[in-house]
Amino acid sequence: MGEYTEEINNAYNVLKRGGIILYPTDTVWGIGCDATNADAIDKIFALKKRSEEKALICLVSDFKMLNQYVEDVPEVAYDILKYAAKPTTIVYDQPIRVAENLVGADNTLGIRVTKDKFCQQLIRKLKKPLVSTSANLSGQPTPETFGDISKEILEGVDYVVNLHQSIKTPKPSAIIKLSNDGKVQVIRK
């Protein structure tokens, strides 16, 4: 695990007991929890003051993990992810093994295979996907830096990861919806 060992262990311990964390991702700062823990997901909805109809996304560490949480990953997903120039979240049909309140009303879930080393290592230790939603109250702008994150969010999480707090975060990920019937729809470039 190397340079991130202490932060990974701290975040992991909070996630294991159903807590929520604030952490740097390959895009913007995220609020996260164990994607299989419905109570922890409820805490995130409450903290963000977000309607449960608005889906959250989650991160997985690699393609192998992706296949464990989606019934049928369309072949084109691998090509899109292989050639994507920026972090890309794909909305899949029929997610499995995650908390029901994480899944959209249309039985879909946005999942990103993260390339961020800290996120990958934390997810591998957790052995489950990690919820990732921007660190803002619903309707507020997405924070571009750690310093832009509101006091309410900072005080509402159980743990703040002490890494990369001085780095300006890149933009949110691209979002593409892949339906099992072969339809591809770009939601956010």
Are the CB atoms for 34 and 40 separated by under 8 Å? yes
E strand or H helix at 184: strand 184-188
pLDDT score of 180: 87
* CA–CA dist 1, 136 (Å, integer): 29
List, for residues 84-142, the tens digit of each pLDDT value: 989 999 999 999 999 999 999 999 999 999 999 999 999 999 999 999 999 999 999 99
3-state DSSP assignment of residue 187: strand
pLDDT score of 51: 85
Q: How many helices (H) and strands (E) does the chain have?
A: 6, 9
List, for residues 13-58, the tens digit of each pLDDT value: 999 999 999 999 999 999 999 999 999 999 999 999 988 888 899 9
- For the cut 90, the answer to whether the pLDDT of residue 1 exceeds it is no
List, for residues 25-34, the tens digit of each pLDDT value: 999 999 999 9
* CA–CA dist 46, 25 (Å, integer): 21
The percentage of the chain sitting over the pLDDT mark of 90, rounded to a whole number, equals 81
* CA–CA dist 123, 109 (Å, integer): 17
List, for residues 146-164, the tens digit of each pLDDT value: 999 999 999 999 999 999 8
* CA–CA dist 100, 108 (Å, integer): 11
pLDDT band for position 175 (50/70/90)?
A: very high
CA distances from 106 to 60, 61, 65, 143 (A): 21, 25, 22, 29
- For the cut 80, the answer to whether the pLDDT of residue 170 exceeds it is no
In 37-107, the DSSP E strands lie at 57-60, 88-93
pLDDT score of 59: 98
The percentage of the chain sitting over the pLDDT mark of 70, rounded to a whole number, equals 98
**What's the pTM value of the predicted model, to 2 decimals?**
0.94
Are the CB atoms for 184 and 176 separated by under 8 Å? yes
Are the CB atoms for 59 and 128 separated by under 8 Å? no
